[in-house]
A and B are shown apart, each in its own frame.
Chain A
Amino acid sequence: MGTNGQNVLERRRAEALVKRPELPETFVAPAGDIYETSDAFVVKLDMPGATTEAISLNVEPGHFFVRARLGSYHGDRAAILMSEIGRKSYFREFNLGRGVNHNAVQAQFADGVLTIILPKTEESKVREIQIKS
């Protein structure tokens, strides 16, 4: 097991090796929730207006990113009276620890919310140690 110092360097190295995706010109980072259970990390992202087809999720060792390109809500002949949404794409990137089995990641999209389930590897699951008397 490495010390904390080594972990930081390893992470930096992993980050340096990551291929950065080409960013869309205007994008927003979707708001998200993350929680951890005994066997997975669950990431939820608010992505209203996206569709299953428009979303791409790239998972690689060390990181993953989500992006979606969005079309306009309005027709060509629309006169826009109020614009709070604007036209935008979504992009957000997360680092992944080594404890995630990146080959078994699952995702689903419902009601404008993307849910990504990142299962933990067997080795990284918390084990309770029996104390022998």
Chain B
Amino acid sequence: MLVRFGFPRMLDDLLEDVSSSDFAPVTRRFPAIDVAEYENEFVAIAEMPGIKKEDLKITFENDVLTLKGERTPYEIPQDAKVLLNEMRVREFERSLQLPSDIDAKNISAELKDGVLRVVLPKAENARARQIEIR
């Protein structure tokens, strides 16, 4: 069951709490994500170099944004010799719970220069309102 937190919290953080051991290698999560809150929207930024639009699936369900995809390896000539291989990520999936009601129909996403930008407008009832004093 999903629990609502005050701050965005990664579901895989929870999983890691359970499954991590002292011997597990330190791995950097992919993609790295920033979340910023503005007056009327949240903006999630995810860095995913080498990912094309068609490699990525974005879903939003029960206040949880999920980014799932696969980095397809580039082709190298058959006779090529690999001298350095640091680009290792192939498949990835990350989920992010948003702290406030989202207007799901108006979520938009843009992928440019290896950076995904998802704009999640707040639902009308979650927006800050100024109360007039009578």
A: residues with CB less than 8 A from B are 31-38, 41-42, 44, 46-51, 73-75, 77-85, 109, 111-113
Contacts and interface: CB of A to CB of B under 8 A. Distances in A.
A95 to B, nearest CB: 12
Interface stretch (B16-24, B37-45, B102-110): B37-45
B92 to A, nearest CB: 13
A75 B113 contact: no
Nearest to A52: B113
Contacts of B38: 75, 77-79
User: Chain B, interface size: which category?
Assistant: 35 or more
Contacts of B131: none
A111 B7 CA distance: 30
A47 B81 CA distance: 23
Given A35-B80, A37-B77, A112-B115, A81 B8 contact: yes
A116 B27 CA distance: 27
B110 to A, nearest CB: 12
B86 A37 contact: no
Given A38-B79, A48-B113, A112 B50 contact: yes
Contact of B87 (A44, A49, A85): A44
A50 B49 CA distance: 10
Contacts, number: 115
Interface string B51-83: 110000000000000000000001011011111
Interface of B: 7-8, 29, 32-39, 42-43, 45, 47-52, 74, 76-77, 79-87, 96, 99, 113-115, 117
Contacts of B82: 33-35
B87 A74 contact: no
Nearest to B44: A82
Q: Which of A48, A77, A78, A109 has the most CB of B within 10 A?
A: A48
Given A34-B83, A36-B81, A46-B50, A78 B113 contact: no
Given A73-B36, A75-B36, A81-B8, 4 more contacts: A32-B84, A46-B50, A74-B43, A82-B34
Contacts of B114: 46-49, 111-113
A73 B47 CA distance: 11
24 contacts: A35-B81, A35-B83, A37-B79, A42-B76, A47-B114, A48-B115, A49-B114, A49-B115, A73-B117, A74-B36, A74-B43, A78-B36, A78-B37, A78-B38, A81-B7, A81-B35, A81-B42, A84-B32, A84-B33, A85-B34, A111-B49, A111-B51, A111-B114, A112-B48
